[in-house]
């Protein structure tokens, strides 16, 4: 800011340093008394909360007892039924088969030895079979699990990974792109070849985003156990940079955002590296189910040490 303008803004200061505080501001003693009062109130409230279990907690022992009783009855009934069955139709030639029970979890899991031994994903164009994969092209490796063989690797190079259904026609057509960010685009003019924005300030990028890019459902969350910001983006009324790339999301990999497409983006903080961006793109509202499929994969994302 130039010095003169800085001085003018300073002149607007309603409580300039070195002058008396504005009328109505409490003196130090009153502020201290107020803090003391609030502190005592909070302590009292905390003590009361500790002593008084909430209604849900009060029910817990009773529910546990009833649950245990029902479980004992159920186990007894099963044992009795098996006993009756064996007695009635005992046949040494009968073979029994057991159905494997599979459980799925949507919680991000910490790295395990098995995950660390996941298959390195080296294909840069080819189908992605069900399995656990490790990507080593992003610096810190990360793993993820694929349960359904409906995905196709579209690109896989240093700091850039894209996956989509095999019949995806182009970027944004039901794809998931993962990129290592180095620099975000200029949020005020992402449709121009301007200066970039620090990759580690996605919150600031969103705060400064031009009205031509619509951001909704912004949320602080975690991905792979690391802090992340998730947001949905789509373009509004904005002039495009060129026919192929309307707006640039980042300058590092030049991932573009285009009219008519909807994006769900996570920018994940990393411990020692620049953030990782995960970008889901669809061009039809009817393809929203693909986001669920990708989020299932993302729920298994795990960063290795």
Partner 1 sequence: MAESPGSDTKFRQVFDAHLSSVQRYCARRLRPADANDAVAEVFLVAWRRIHRMPEGDEALPWLLGVARNVIRNLERSGRRSLRLKARVEQEPTPANPGPEAQVIRHVEYAEVAAALSSLNQADQEVIRLRAWEELTAPQIAVVLGCSVAAAEKRVTRASQRLTRAVERRKVKVRPRAIREGGDA
Cβ 184 to partner 1 shortest distance, Å: 10
Residues that bind partner 1 (CB under 8 A): 1-2, 4-17, 21-26, 28, 31-32, 34-36, 38-39, 42, 188, 197-198, 200-201, 203-204, 207-208
Enumerate the β-bridge partners of residue 303: 142
User: 3-state DSSP: the chain helix, strand, coil percent, rounded to 5?
Assistant: 30, 25, 45
Nearer to partner 1, 165 or 198 (CB): 198
Cβ 25 to partner 1 shortest distance, Å: 5
Nearer to partner 1, 30 or 52 (CB): 30
Nearer to partner 1, 4 or 113 (CB): 4
Nearer to partner 1, 13 or 91 (CB): 13
Q: What is the largest CA-CA distance in the chain?
A: 99
Nearer to partner 1, 31 or 82 (CB): 31
Contact present, 245 and 255 (Cβ < 8 Å): no
Cβ 128 to partner 1 shortest distance, Å: 35
Please give the Cα distance from 252 to 181 (Å, whole number): 6
Please give the Cα distance from 268 to 272 (Å, whole number): 12
Q: Which residues of 154-175 are buried (b: 16+ CB within 10 A; e: fewer)?
A: bebeebbbbbbbeebeebbbbb
**Pairing status of strand 131-135 against strand 119-120:** parallel
Contact present, 271 and 128 (Cβ < 8 Å): no
Please give the Cα distance from 267 to 275 (Å, whole number): 6
Cβ 259 to partner 1 shortest distance, Å: 24
Cβ 274 to partner 1 shortest distance, Å: 11
């Amino acid at each position: 800011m130039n010095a003169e303008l800085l001085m003018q803004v300073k002149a607007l200061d309603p409580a300039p340093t070195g002058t008396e505080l504005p009328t109505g501001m409490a003196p130090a003693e009153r502020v201290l008394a107020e803090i003391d009062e609030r502190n005592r109130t909070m302590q009292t409230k905390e003590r009361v909360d500790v002593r008084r279990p909430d209604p849900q907690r009060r029910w817990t022992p009773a529910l546990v007892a009833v649950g245990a009783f029902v479980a004992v009855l159920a186990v007894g009934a099963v044992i009795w039924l098996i006993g009756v069955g064996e007695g009635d139709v005992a046949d040494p030639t009968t073979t029994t088969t057991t159905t494997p029970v599979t459980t799925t979890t949507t919680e991000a899991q910490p790295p395990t030895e098995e995950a660390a031994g996941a298959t390195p994903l080296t294909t840069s164009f080819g189908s992605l079979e069900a399995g656990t994969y490790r990507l080593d092209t992003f610096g810190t490796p990360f793993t993820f699990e694929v349960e359904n063989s409906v995905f196709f690797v579209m690109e896989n190079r240093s700091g850039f990974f894209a996956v989509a259904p095999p019949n995806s026609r182009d970027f944004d057509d039901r794809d998931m792109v993962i990129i290592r960010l180095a620099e975000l685009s200029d949020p005020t003019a992402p449709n121009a070849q301007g200066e970039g924005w620090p990759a580690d300030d996605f919150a600031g990028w969103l705060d400064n985003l031009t009205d031509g890019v619509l951001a909704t459902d912004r949320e602080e969350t975690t991905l792979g156990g690391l802090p992340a910001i998730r947001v949905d983006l789509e373009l509004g009324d904005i002039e495009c940079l060129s026919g192929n790339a309307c707006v640039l999301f980042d300058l590092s990999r030049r991932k573009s955002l285009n009219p008519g497409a909807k994006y769900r983006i996570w920018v994940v903080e990393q411990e020692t590296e620049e953030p990782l961006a995960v970008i889901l793109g669809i061009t039809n509202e009817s393809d929203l189910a693909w986001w669920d499929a990708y989020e299932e994969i993302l729920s298994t994302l795990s960063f290795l040490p």
